[in-house]
């Protein structure tokens, strides 16, 4: 983490600011490159329908690690997509968990760029969707245009398919990609990437990645107004379950018994509630885990970035989209965003114990669980967070409560003046977009495996376009945009073509 | 409640004790009655297979109020069973909830007895059963004999079917029941009998019940060792859900959003945890709801009953059956039983919020619920308990949390010297059984509707036989007993024949 922090220095922020204001080195855009891009654009448009069908076929095959669904099939499909897009070497690699895919595309270029993909998607309940989540139908959405609705539409199959469509179009235009590519795809992103290190640290993968100038994941970086955000990192995460049970506690029953016995038998569910209660203060937000790693205070540079971004983003729209009336502590918009980027969280994703169906059922449950996710910011590691939680519970008489960590990793950060980020700003500026620079995504991705030792590479997300509803019903990705400021599918594909060219420079 | 308490006076306890020790009036058992019982027994044995098939057909049709399953069908089946058993007047009556069944059997006898039935059963998950819960298979159980496994086997279709089989056998023997019968059957017992008052207070039902000497529910009152328990009442219960939601709170989201937003958005799930935490002390057991009605202290008579019962019941067996290693506060067996009969409870039946499936899902849930049941002892009413809970939450800043009461009622009690209880003790003593007298069942049944004004009738449970697993998987009822001290099905049927005769005296 020390390295990462150093990268976020004021010098690098200054460099980014210069790029943003157009005072850095003037763009080189020879006529040859313009011709090449025009030829590729023609192919992107010609192949539009085929690319959409390719994306729809991908969405029709959901791989869900938490449910052990279509894991092998998902990896094989991912491998086939890579092969069809021109990767000469493609292999499915075992990780000890769900398999990964490792692929190389040698374009004979001087530079090599890493790609990080996920082939898995989040769980879904079709009953909650207005359009079947696996059919990836294209429907009209007022204000947005034609959007594809499906699980994985924006997280992450849509943007990843657009990157692959860029490679298809480049080849169809009789060109070669301007950079060589190394692809690492995992099938466990949605469960906290428990085996990403095993995948990336395989000798042949590590060796291939060492030769890259950085690693990026295709994404849809525009909001509904078209504002593009360049993020310089992401929080870390730990996903875990706290499980209280009669078996482990030595009190309460070892199976569900009639609730009338509650008058003489202890309750693991109440034991869990009492344990949970010690983790946050009465405000429900302030973490009270003893010895919990402390977040690094938000820096002046980060504050400046958040201030600039908050001024450009609509608080009213954010509140309306989330169904939120007020932020934590009734903070104003800018301070709420500062909290968002700089503070760790202890979130309850799910509570499950005893009878969870309709109405009641008079049982005294022998087991109750809280599914938590902990978001980590610079200054914190997954290991230290879990260790503190364990010791905290032990000290307070909750040592019997199981802490089942299912995934997670440290935070990640990349310097604003790295080649990866400079190329992003370059592409966006050429398109007349004024991007928002953002200290770190409040969500998480396992960028640490690229940014931390031994690789120490820049890592980020890139891609024009807009989507929403990740992890929620009616997840969507804009295909034909009603707003000229927001890229549709073909423009998203072109943004990848341009980004690869910018990275080649 | 005042009436009920008066009934449990030391005088009545003394009377019961006298009966138990055989010092009360000598039993009258003329030869004519012995002949009649012998003739009926012959029919019970001859009709055994038909009665078992009748029970199996009943179990095959589960009515589950919480799931709105087979409600109308269940009431119709109940009505048919009553009609076939000889009730001349049978009607399905509307209650505002699930329908009830009201029936009368006029045997031309001087006395009339009330019967309380339930035709509904608890929810079940077939995956948890070793034998299909609706097939009511008869299987060998070491130590028990041949038992029927099915949902409702003991709670309450098995014992109720045995009472009906007694009526069939009496008729087949060319006899009339020794008492007239009034039957009230409900389909909402398992959700806390929310409409039992509407059913029992219908003018024609109330009028019919006013003419009875008391009301009983068929049950299996023997434990696995054959010890029969005569209970003098039951706790009251309130079933309710506490629901925290962004909608009602005005904080947090109004739909599930990505968990990364937790750093700026409040959490209804944590709000619920904080509210729950205020309801019981750190021991998880002591109720800390401000202004909660106080239980009447356990009386010397009740203590004596519990002491006698504890001496006869095996603590080791109880612990083994429940999978419990220690009782609350490490109480010894007798004190644990005192706690069981005398203390109210605030039990968590279920916790459900956000993502409850396998693994994790990074959402910030907009809603979380705790399903509670509150058991009430004398000195407490449902109304006062709910009112105190509401005010307690309001005062502590949890006034937004919904309290959805789905059912419940006050405690109930019946005097040991009532005709209903004296007849029970009489039947058991004649069979050489030495029953355990018990202050009140820790579970609940809506006896209040019979014991409280306006009816003020004795009410209880009766029936030889043994079963287990009520509300749990592999619920069973002994059909052919391996233990001579435990009644099998035919003996259970005969116990009802004998009880009706004893009540007729």
Q: Are both A250 and A385 inside the same structural domain? A: yes
Identity of the residue in A351, A364, A375 whose CB atom sits nearest the CB atom of B368: A351
Contact A258 B365 (CB under 8 A): no
User: What is the Cα–Cα distance from B386 to B372, expressed in whole angstroms?
Assistant: 12
pLDDT in tens, chain B (505 residues): 333 333 333 333 333 333 343 333 334 457 888 999 999 999 999 999 999 999 999 999 999 998 999 999 999 999 999 999 999 999 999 999 999 999 999 999 999 999 999 999 999 999 999 999 999 999 999 999 999 999 999 999 999 999 999 999 999 999 999 999 999 999 999 998 999 999 999 999 999 999 999 999 999 999 998 999 999 999 999 999 999 999 999 999 999 999 999 999 999 999 999 999 999 999 999 999 999 999 999 999 999 999 999 999 899 989 998 899 999 999 999 999 999 999 999 999 999 999 998 888 899 999 999 999 999 999 999 999 999 999 999 999 999 999 999 999 999 999 999 999 999 999 999 999 999 999 999 999 999 999 999 999 999 999 999 999 888 899 999 999 999 999 999 999 999 999 999 999 9
Q: Are both B390 and B453 inside the same structural domain? A: no
Kindly report the backbone phi and psi dihedral angles of residue A210, in degrees, each rounded to the nearest multiple of 5, phi listed first: -60, -30
Q: Are both B279 and B213 inside the same structural domain? A: no
Contact B264 A337 (CB under 8 A): yes
Residue A303 within any structural domain of the chain? no
Task: Establish if B122 touches chain A: CB-CB under 8 angstroms.
Answer: yes
Identify all chain A residues contacting B255, using CB atoms and an 8 Å cutoff: 322-323, 472
- Residue A184's Cβ-count burial label (10 Å; 0-12, 13-18, 19+) is buried
Query: For A435-478, how does the pLDDT look when each residue is reduced to its tens digit (9 = 90+)?
Result: 999 999 999 999 999 999 999 999 999 999 999 988 889 999 99
Identify all chain A residues contacting B66, using CB atoms and an 8 Å cutoff: 357-361
> Chain B residue with minimal CA distance to A284?
B270
- Residue A172's Cβ-count burial label (10 Å; 0-12, 13-18, 19+) is middle
Query: For A373-405, how does the pLDDT look when each residue is reduced to its tens digit (9 = 90+)?
Result: 999 999 999 999 999 999 999 999 999 999 999
Contact B282 A264 (CB under 8 A): no
Residue span of the structural domain in which A439 resides: 2-232+414-504
Q: Which of B362, B366, B397, B469 to mutate to test the interface with A (most CBs of A within 10 A)?
A: B362
Q: Are both B191 and B286 inside the same structural domain? A: no
Q: Which of B97, B348, B355, B397 to mutate to test the interface with A (most CBs of A within 10 A)?
A: B348
How far separated are the first and last CA of chain A, in Å rounded? 29
Task: Establish if A376 touches chain B: CB-CB under 8 angstroms.
Answer: no
Q: Are both B272 and B400 inside the same structural domain? A: yes
The residues, ordered by sequence, that sit 6+ positions from B151 with a Cβ below 8 Å of its Cβ are B59, B62, B121, B122, B124, B133, B134, B475
Task: Establish if B422 touches chain A: CB-CB under 8 angstroms.
Answer: no
Identify all chain B residues contacting A360, using CB atoms and an 8 Å cutoff: 66, 191-192, 239-241, 349-350, 371, 373, 406-407
Identity of the residue in B271, B272, B360 whose CB atom sits nearest the CB atom of A373: B360
User: What is the Cα–Cα distance from A185 to B485, expressed in whole angstroms?
Assistant: 68
Contact A280 B257 (CB under 8 A): no
The tokens describing A141, both together, are: 């959405």
CA angle at B432 for the pair B431 and B435, rounded to the nearest 5° = 95
Mean local confidence (pLDDT), A347-359 = 94
Contact B264 A339 (CB under 8 A): yes
Mean local confidence (pLDDT), A107-120 = 98
Q: Are both A444 and A403 inside the same structural domain? A: no
Domain count, chain B: 2
ipTM value: 0.87
Task: Establish if A130 touches chain B: CB-CB under 8 angstroms.
Answer: no
Contact B351 A353 (CB under 8 A): yes
Identity of the residue in B265, B282, B364 whose CB atom sits nearest the CB atom of A274: B282
Q: Hey, is B406 helix, strand or coil?
A: strand
The answer to whether the CB of B220 falls within 8 A of the CB of B477 is yes
Kindly report the backbone phi and psi dihedral angles of residue A409, in degrees, each rounded to the nearest multiple of 5, phi listed first: -170, 170
Q: Are both A170 and A288 inside the same structural domain? A: no
Task: Establish if A154 touches chain B: CB-CB under 8 angstroms.
Answer: no
Is the confidence at residue A49, as pLDDT, over 50?
yes
Percentage of residues in chain A having pLDDT higher than 70 = 94
Kindly report the backbone phi and psi dihedral angles of residue B42, in degrees, each rounded to the nearest multiple of 5, phi listed first: -60, -40
**Bridge partners, A58 (sequence order):** none
Q: Kindly give the residue spans of alpha helices, DSSP state H, lying in A313-370.
A: 315-322, 333-342
Q: Are both A127 and A217 inside the same structural domain? A: yes
Q: Are both B386 and B271 inside the same structural domain? A: yes
Residue B305 within any structural domain of the chain? no
Tell me, what CATH number does B122's domain have?
Answer: 3.40.630.10
Kindly report the backbone phi and psi dihedral angles of residue A338, in degrees, each rounded to the nearest multiple of 5, phi listed first: -60, -45
User: What is the Cα–Cα distance from B95 to B103, expressed in whole angstroms?
Assistant: 15
pTM of the model: 0.87
Interface of B with A in 166-195 (CB under 8 A): 190-192
DSSP state string for B410-454:
--EE--TTSHHHHHHHHHHHHTT--PEEES-EEEE--THHHHSTT
Identify all chain A residues contacting B376, using CB atoms and an 8 Å cutoff: none
- Assign A20 a pLDDT band (cuts: 50, 70, 90): very low
Q: Which of A240, A324, A338, A366 to mutate to test the interface with B (most CBs of B within 10 A)?
A: A324
Q: Are both B219 and B81 inside the same structural domain? A: yes
Identity of the residue in A273, A363, A470 whose CB atom sits nearest the CB atom of B277: A273
Task: Establish if A97 touches chain B: CB-CB under 8 angstroms.
Answer: no
User: What is the Cα–Cα distance from B82 to B119, expressed in whole angstroms?
Assistant: 12
Nearest-neighbour CA in chain B from A475: distance (Å): 12
Q: If residue A478 lies in a helix (H) or strand (E), which one and from where to where?
A: strand A476-481
Q: Are both A99 and A241 inside the same structural domain? A: no
Q: Are both A261 and A142 inside the same structural domain? A: no
Higher pLDDT pick, B132 / A322: B132
> Chain A residue with minimal CA distance to B345?
A263
Nearest-neighbour CA in chain A from B164: distance (Å): 27
Residue A423 within any structural domain of the chain? yes
Residue A166 neighbours by CB distance under 10 Å? 27
Interface of A with B in 309-328 (CB under 8 A): 322-328
Identity of the residue in A267, A326, A351 whose CB atom sits nearest the CB atom of B354: A351
Contact B349 A258 (CB under 8 A): no
pLDDT value for B471: 84
pLDDT value for A29: 52
Residue B316 within any structural domain of the chain? no
Nearest-neighbour CA in chain B from A485: distance (Å): 25
User: What is the Cα–Cα distance from A346 to B263, expressed in whole angstroms?
Assistant: 9
Residue B332 within any structural domain of the chain? no
User: What is the Cα–Cα distance from B166 to A472, expressed in whole angstroms?
Assistant: 58
**Bridge partners, B90 (sequence order):** B103
Contact B347 A364 (CB under 8 A): yes
Residue B161 within any structural domain of the chain? yes
Average pLDDT over all residues of chain A: 93
Residue B355 C-alpha from the chain's centroid:
33
Residue A225 within any structural domain of the chain? yes
Task: Establish if B239 touches chain A: CB-CB under 8 angstroms.
Answer: yes
DSSP state string for B53-120:
HHHHHHHTS-BBGGGTBSHHHHHHHHHHHHHHTT-SEEEEE--SSS-EEEEEE--S-S-EEEEEEE-B
Report DSSP state, residue B207. Answer: H
Residue B306 within any structural domain of the chain? no
Tell me, what CATH number does A371's domain have?
Answer: 3.30.70.360
Nearest-neighbour CA in chain B from A258: distance (Å): 7
**Bridge partners, B364 (sequence order):** B257
């Amino acid at each position: 983490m020390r390295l990462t922090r150093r990268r976020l220095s004021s010098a690098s922020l200054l460099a980014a600011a210069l790029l943003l204001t157009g005072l850095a080195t003037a763009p080189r855009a020879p006529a040859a490159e313009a011709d090449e891009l025009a030829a590729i654009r023609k192919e992107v448009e010609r192949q539009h329908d085929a690319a959409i069908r390719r994306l729809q076929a991908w969405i029709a095959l959901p791989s869900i690690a938490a449910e052990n669904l279509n894991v092998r099939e998902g990896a094989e499909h991912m491998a086939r997509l890579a092969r069809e897009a021109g990767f000469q070497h493609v292999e499915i690699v075992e990780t000890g968990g769900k398999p990964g895919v490792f692929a190389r595309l040698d374009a004979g270029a001087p530079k090599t760029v890493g790609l990080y993909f996920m082939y898995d998607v989040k769980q879904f309940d079709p009953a909650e969707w207005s359009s079947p989540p696996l059919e990836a139908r294209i429907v009209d959405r007022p204000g947005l245009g034609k959007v594809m609705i499906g699980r994985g539409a924006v997280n992450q199959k849509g943007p990843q398919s657009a990157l692959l469509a860029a490679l298809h179009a480049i080849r169809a235009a009789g060109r070669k990609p301007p950079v060589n590519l190394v692809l690492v795809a995992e099938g466990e992103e949605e469960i906290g990437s428990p085996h990403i290190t095993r995948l990336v640290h395989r000798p042949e993968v590590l060796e291939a990645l060492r030769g890259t100038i950085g690693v990026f994941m295709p994404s849809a970086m525009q909001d509904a107004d078209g504002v593009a955000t360049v993020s310089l990192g992401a929080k870390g995460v730990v996903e875990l379950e706290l499980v209280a049970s009669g078996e482990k506690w030595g009190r309460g029953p070892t199976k569900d018994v009639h609730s009338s016995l509650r008058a003489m038998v202890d309750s693991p569910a109440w034991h869990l509630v009492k344990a949970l209660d010690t983790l946050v203060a009465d405000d429900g937000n302030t973490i009270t885990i003893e010895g919990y790693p402390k977040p690094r205070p938000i820096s002046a540079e980060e504050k400046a970035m958040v201030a600039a971004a908050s001024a450009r983003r609509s608080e009213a729209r954010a509140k309306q989209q989330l169904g939120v009336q007020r932020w934590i502590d009734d903070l104003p918009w800018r301070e709420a965003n500062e909290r968002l980027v700089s503070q760790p969280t202890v979130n309850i994703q799910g509570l499950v114990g005893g009878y969870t169906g309709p109405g009641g059922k008079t049982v005294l449950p022998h087991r109750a669980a809280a599914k938590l996710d902990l978001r980590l910011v610079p200054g914190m590691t997954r290991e230290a967070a879990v260790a503190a939680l364990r010791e905290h519970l032990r000290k307070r008489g909750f040592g019997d409560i199981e802490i089942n960590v299912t995934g997670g990793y440290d935070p990640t950060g990349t310097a604003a003046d790295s080649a990866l980020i400079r190329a992003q700003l370059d592409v966006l500026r050429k398109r007349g977009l004024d991007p928002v620079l953002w200290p770190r995504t409040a969500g998480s991705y396992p960028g640490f495996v690229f940014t931390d030792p031994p690789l120490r590479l820049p890592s980020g997300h890139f891609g024009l376009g807009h989507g929403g509803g990740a992890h929620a019903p009616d997840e969507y990705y804009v295909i034909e945009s009603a707003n000229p400021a927001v890229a549709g599918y073909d423009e998203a594909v072109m943004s990848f073509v341009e980004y690869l060219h910018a990275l080649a420079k």
